[in-house]
Amino acid sequence: MSNVYQANIVKKHASLPARVMQMETPHGMVTTPAFMPVGTRAMLNYLTPADLQQSGSDIILGGNTYHMLCAPGMEIIEAAGGMHTFMGWHQAMLTDSGGFQVLSLSKNSKICTINEEGARFKHPITGKIIHLNSHTSIQAQKIIGADIIMAFDQCTPETGGREAALAALDRTHRWLMLSKEEHEKNPNSVYGHRQALFGIIQGGSFRDLREQSTEFILQQDLDGIAIGGEVIGFDMKKTEEIIDWIRPMLPENKVRYTMGVGLNPQDLLDVVAKGIDIFDCVAPTRNARHGTLYYGEIVEKDGWLAFESRGEQGRILIKKSQYAKDNQPIMPHCDCYTCLHFSRAYLHYLFKQGLIAYFHLASIHNIHVMQSVCKRMRELILR
């Protein structure tokens, strides 16, 4: 295992901001554009590490800080030798700081309250109070041992208007300074490998706040740059607009990460065309579990790619009775394990019966489609 993190541009697209980068991490090389499947609770729902490798994943988002503090707890992760060993994933891993959970859980003040010091959570089962702040978040991420860790931030809600966006921005910047200070005491995980620290640009849907936040994050000279906030990935038009506002300010040599992008295969194509390198989303596996399977064709168009929709918005709903006798694979030309071996009729039957095999096979397909989109983007840029 190497003990470095570094990122280099391999090649830029001839006419778009899209590029291919190589990130060297202590757990292997990652070539971007790269989609990170999400294993919030130290596992990817219904997928094994072997399934992920077969899909072409070489980096995942593993072990969310908030959830890991709740269960299994840091003592157990540390006793296992870190998250990589604990969950049997030995390639690159990014973890997040718990900032998004602060946003979602603080909507109920009985569960979570936020102040300048950070967030106080009530453990969902034991009722024990958990303090999550810049210090405890970075300490937990050192024990998780991910290759890339995130500064503790306050995710900007879309509902609070400018005042809420400004408050979250100021707090995120203060917490970033404290996160950086904590990280710099020892930039390694407790297992001795170097961890890269990314800062998160906030500012909601306000151009001047996004620019102000970008400037502040860049001044800290961190390893990489994330773009956060509730709007990112949720509203793709706004997401693209925000990237356009701040891209002229971003250094070429640092990895750019849009948090929570990947509801649809087309979303990956859209942000990479704007100059983004990595992204994560729970949607592909969540969609799979609820019977929504990606279906379309990756085609070249005007020097870039599009995920051309077949069916309803690039997906099929496998529960529909029209698939009961349909002996085609989910998606023609897809070479995932599921499409090579099983028919829509079989998946329809499994889904209707609520059988666990369905969740496994459906998740394999949806993650594979996301990784196929990334592979095609890399090939096109390198060509």
Q: Is the peptide bond before 157 cis (omega within 30 degrees of 0)?
A: no
Give, in order, the Cα–Cα distances in Å from 85 to each of 5, 191, 269: 19, 11, 33
Strand spans (E) along the chain: 6-12, 19-25, 28-31, 34-39, 59-62, 92-94, 112-115, 118-122, 129-132, 148-150, 196-201, 224-227, 255-258, 278-281, 292-294, 296-301, 304-309, 315-317
- Each of the 383 residues of the chain gets a pLDDT tens digit; together they read 678 899 999 999 999 999 999 999 999 999 999 999 999 999 999 999 999 999 999 999 999 999 999 899 999 999 999 999 999 999 999 999 988 877 777 778 888 888 888 888 888 788 888 889 999 999 999 999 999 999 999 988 888 899 999 999 999 999 999 999 999 999 999 999 999 999 999 999 999 999 999 999 999 999 999 999 999 999 999 999 999 999 999 999 999 999 999 999 999 999 999 999 999 999 999 999 999 999 999 999 999 999 998 667 889 999 999 999 999 999 999 999 999 999 999 999 999 999 999 999 999 999 999 999 999 999 999 99
Q: Residue 86: what pLDDT? A: 98
Write the DSSP string, 227-263.
E-STTTTTSHHHHHHHHHHHGGGS-TTSEEEETT--S
Which pLDDT does position 124 carry in this prediction? 78
Q: Is 51 a catalytic residue?
A: no
Instruction: Determine the residue type at 316.
Output: I
Measured CA to CA, the distance from residue 257 to residue 34 in angstroms comes to 10
Q: Do residues 318 and 348 make contact, with C-beta atoms less than 8 angstroms apart?
A: yes
Asked if 280 is an active-site residue, the reply is: yes
pLDDT at res. 366: 98
Rounded CA gap, 340 and 330, in Å? Answer: 9
Angle at 54 between CA 297 and CA 380, to 5 degrees: 45
Which residues does 252 contact at the CB level (< 8 Å), separation at least 6? 9
Model pLDDT, residue 119: 87
Q: Determine if the pTM surpasses 0.85.
A: yes
Judged by phi (left if over 0) then psi (alpha if -120 to 50, else beta), residue 56 lies in left
Catalytic member of 51, 58, 96, 270? 96
What tokens were used for 81? 């030798």
Whether the CB-CB separation of 62 and 87 falls below 8 Å is answered with yes
The predicted structure's pLDDT at residue 10: 98
Q: Rounded to an integer, what distance in angstroms lies between the CA atom of residue 284 and that of residue 208? A: 33
